[in-house]
Structure 1
Amino acid sequence: MKLFNKVASLSLAVVLTATLAACGSTKTENQNPAVSQSPAATQSPAADEKIKITMWSQFSDPNSKDGGFIGFYKALEATKAKFPNVEIDHTGIGGEAYKTKVKTASAADELPDIFFSWGGGFAEPFVAANRILPLDDLVKDGTIDKLVPGTTDNFTFDNKLHGLPTNIDTANLYINTELFQAAGAKIPATWDDLMADINILKDKNITPIALGGKDRWPAMFWNSILDIRMGGTAAVNAALNKTGSFNIPEFQEASRKYKELFDSEAFGDNPLGTSYDESINMFLTGKAAMLYMGAWVNGQINAPDSLVKGKVDVVKFPTLPGGKGNADEWHGGSGATFFINANVENKDRVWEVYKYFMETMAKEVFIAGSGSSAWKGDLGDTSKVDPLAIKIGQLSANATGFSYWWDQMLSGNDTESMFGSLIKFSAGKISPEEFNQELQSKINPGK
């Protein structure tokens, strides 16, 4: 697999879009797989003939205030209205259960027609098993020209495009300005600022930072951004793509900074026993002053009934002393998509539904305040776009680099190895140096 990482073009993507701005079966149980490959079987029925498309996603709660969920369900309903002769049978599965389900279905060749996935290492097994329909010929209908450059990189394997993007997501540092003002803290721009704020907030009995370490990936976000600030996105991406090393001085220093946060109790008393939902609730109820999280939380922060609505600002993550990375390098990018099953029936009609849904979801997620659109063109009425989303777009407009979520960039076994080492390190069972040595030996052995 060759995974392209064109940082410069993705930076342009944000310039173009973010200045305004955040996861049934392909054949019946008795179907002969060989039949689905025959010309007769793949010939699409007439446009007025009823067909059914099965879809799986991680968007399990239609009532969620998460901007990604809001955008998904609005796009789903719009697509159903656009194609009245297409029945879309959607199944939503939340959290880690979705990852398990989609991997199991792939192994059994029982994936639905369209299914949510991440790019990078998570998608590699699906591509290797020929479970995903390549889109190179289909996008020649003009679709490829509608996409912001660089946003398909994480879905391109061996020079073949397998998925379309929806949004450009970034992780951001959220600040409860009311708590900061009450405590006498100032918005942090540097590591020293951040540590000073942590001590000030603790003295006022305010948890400085909400962290849902029980779900592992929120802790990964902190480790990732510290590596980005110390080593830069190019070095981080090289390690993730197995062309570089995790065991370099810059990442070791980043790990020491990570340990310093835990040692100072910046994340409260029990961050590794706190779930993602619990950490978000801590921030939304004013029990924690900071949150480093993806833009999908914008909708929850500024929901009509939110206790912190209008009290939260968003800033670039602080710089680290001696770091090679700069404040315009970001944790995030375009990495979530939906794939089409390689053995899908009615391919041409499914493609029409799929591309409309993807473009519509990109627009609706942006309007919901959870990420810049990866599609060019009119985004409709943006007057009510979440102000945090607009601020994030302004902050990231001059981005010089992106590094996407580690658990999606790494393949399955490597992801679990990374999480195992990270939680062991977070719990203080190994040193910063041992942590980086372990990452290298497990994920990039022999390099």
Structure 2
Amino acid sequence: MLKRKAAAAALLALLILMTGCMPDMVRFSPERRQAEPAPVKITMWNVETLDRRQTILQESIRTFNETHKQMQIVPFFYETEAYKNKLRVAMVSGNMPDLFQYWSGESFKRMVDSHAVADVTDLLEQSRDLKRQYIPEALQSVTYDGRIYGFPHTIQRVVVWYNKAMFAEHGLQPPQSWADLIRIIQVLSQKGITSVSVAGKDRWPLLHWFAYINHRLGGEPAFKKTVSRAGDFSDPAFLEAGLKFRELVKNKAFIPGFLGMDVIMAEKAFLAGEAAMYIQGDWVAGKLMEDEKQKNNIGYFGFPEMPGVAGEMEYYGGYAVGWAMSAGSKQREASFEALQFLLDKKERVKYAQASGANAPFLDMPLTRPAAGSAIYDYMEHVAGDRSGFFGFYDQEIEPRRAQLLLDAVVTLASEEELSREEIEAIMAQIR
């Protein structure tokens, strides 16, 4: 009995000794340990592009999340029109994400005026390197009353892309004037070839045509008056633009079934050789110029001039797109750190060289691939082009009139017959 008690006492002493030598993590139960803080979540909304732009952005976000365990970007991507609607609803309900993609113009200004967008002036002052790398005009596009409200991330230019082989086969050259363009359309039509692929279902690609025509006709002053409500779309300038636009319809320029085609369908039709031309922003440069079947066969030209009209030869687009921060975000510091990473030149160079859409920075260290690159050649070409920009019409005016304008352009494109008076009435309804 005494032996048993002695053995038990020895065992107890041994256990106490071992427990005293064990580290705290073993001695204390999991409940007593302090849990590691959960990472800060940064919600980010973007337009769904389903191309290299989205792929590169997702890769950048993944890299950020892997290297910043204390904070994580949670991205969401939405179809363009669905995104615009979701953003409007979120602004009204107060359920904005921390970061979101914007288009500069009246729509964005209204968000600023509604106090839905954070003033980031002081944050940029804290990061002078980021501020100094911007082209000054880029930040001016998101500056209101001397305060900055956005981070532009891309310069956009809408150009006309064309099938080189189709043009060469029929002895055609890129047009210098509107008359040249109409002649090309007529020549192709006589050969049974469709001239233009366009996404009528999405509406805004048709607006590219109308906006360029109006601008080349010298209608920009009238549009600026319309933006400020010192004028409206009943101005004679828009009637003239409508009449010129109708020349495309009369010459059957648009691909059959275009009213039911979205952007993806229109691009596929162009790349399949079903149309000779396609007007779109250079955000599709990577997709078009590196297409496996059409590689080295896709060229581009600026929208032609109108003879006898002292119009501007600017590009449609500009510093039109970027990221902004919600005024209600509780993660401003973390969100800004995420933006600094995504706007780092290393990340923007990857984006530019993959997509063809350059960043609005003073210096972008792009490098020519050893095998050559049509995308690089394009970016080098536009980098040396000092032409200015004019903004996207459906973003420059407020959403309600923008929808009316988009509908009006679809009507202009879809009706077989329209008189001058009917065109005038269509434009006058945009109020």
Do both share a fold (TM > 0.5)? yes
Contact 1:166–1:359 (Cα < 8 Å) also in 2: no
C-alpha deviation, 1:382, in angstroms: 4.6
C-alpha deviation, 1:189, in angstroms: 1.2
C-alpha deviation, 1:196, in angstroms: 1.3
The answer to whether structure 1 residue 271 and structure 2 residue 258 are counterparts is: yes
CA RMSD of aligned residues (A): 2.6
| Unmatched 5+ stretches in structure 2 | 1-36
Query: How far, CA to CA, are the matches of 2:233 and 2:275 in structure 1?
Result: 31
C-alpha deviation, 1:224, in angstroms: 0.5
- Tell me the residue number matched to 2:46: 57
Query: How far, CA to CA, are the matches of 1:186 and 1:227 in structure 2?
Result: 24
The answer to whether structure 1 residue 197 and structure 2 residue 184 are counterparts is: yes
Change (3 A) 1:303 1:256: same
TM normalised by structure 1 equals: 0.80
**Which secondary structure does the structure 2 equivalent of 1:373 belong to?**
coil
- Tell me the residue number matched to 1:86: 71
Q: Where do 1:217-366 residues align within 5 Å?
A: 217-231=204-218, 233=220, 235-243=222-230, 246-303=233-290, 305=292, 307-326=293-312, 328-359=313-344, 362-366=348-352
Aligned partner letter, 1:264: N
Match of 1:376 among 362, 369, 373: 362
C-alpha deviation, 1:407, in angstroms: 1.5
C-alpha deviation, 1:378, in angstroms: 4.5
C-alpha deviation, 1:114, in angstroms: 0.9
Change (3 A) 1:396 1:358: closer
Query: How far, CA to CA, are the matches of 1:229 and 1:249 in structure 2?
Result: 15
Change (3 A) 1:395 1:375: closer
- Tell me the residue number matched to 2:105: 120
Q: State how many pairs are aligned.
A: 390
C-alpha deviation, 1:243, in angstroms: 4.6
C-alpha deviation, 1:404, in angstroms: 1.5
C-alpha deviation, 1:282, in angstroms: 1.0
Contact 1:50–1:87 (Cα < 8 Å) also in 2: yes
- Tell me the residue number matched to 2:168: 181
Which structure exhibits the higher relative contact order, with contacts defined as CA atoms closer than 8 Å and separated by 6 or more residues? 1
- Tell me the residue number matched to 2:4: none
**Which secondary structure does the structure 2 equivalent of 1:208 belong to?**
coil
**Which secondary structure does the structure 2 equivalent of 1:150 belong to?**
helix
C-alpha deviation, 1:392, in angstroms: 5.3
| Unmatched 5+ stretches in structure 1 | 1-47
C-alpha deviation, 1:49, in angstroms: 8.0
Identity %: 24
Match of 2:59 among 44, 59, 74: 74
Contact 2:356–2:378 (Cα < 8 Å) also in 1: no
TM normalised by structure 2 equals: 0.82
**Which secondary structure does the structure 1 equivalent of 2:316 belong to?**
strand
Match of 2:201 among 214, 232, 235: 214
C-alpha deviation, 1:68, in angstroms: 2.7
C-alpha deviation, 1:105, in angstroms: 1.4
C-alpha deviation, 1:227, in angstroms: 0.9
Change (3 A) 1:382 1:376: farther
Aligned partner letter, 1:88: I
Aligned partner letter, 2:280: M
User: Is the radius of gyration larger for structure 1 or structure 2?
Assistant: 2
The answer to whether structure 1 residue 415 and structure 2 residue 410 are counterparts is: no
Query: How far, CA to CA, are the matches of 1:234 and 1:368 in structure 2?
Result: 36
Contact 2:43–2:98 (Cα < 8 Å) also in 1: yes
**Which secondary structure does the structure 1 equivalent of 2:284 belong to?**
helix
Change (3 A) 1:153 1:431: farther
Change (3 A) 1:145 1:170: same
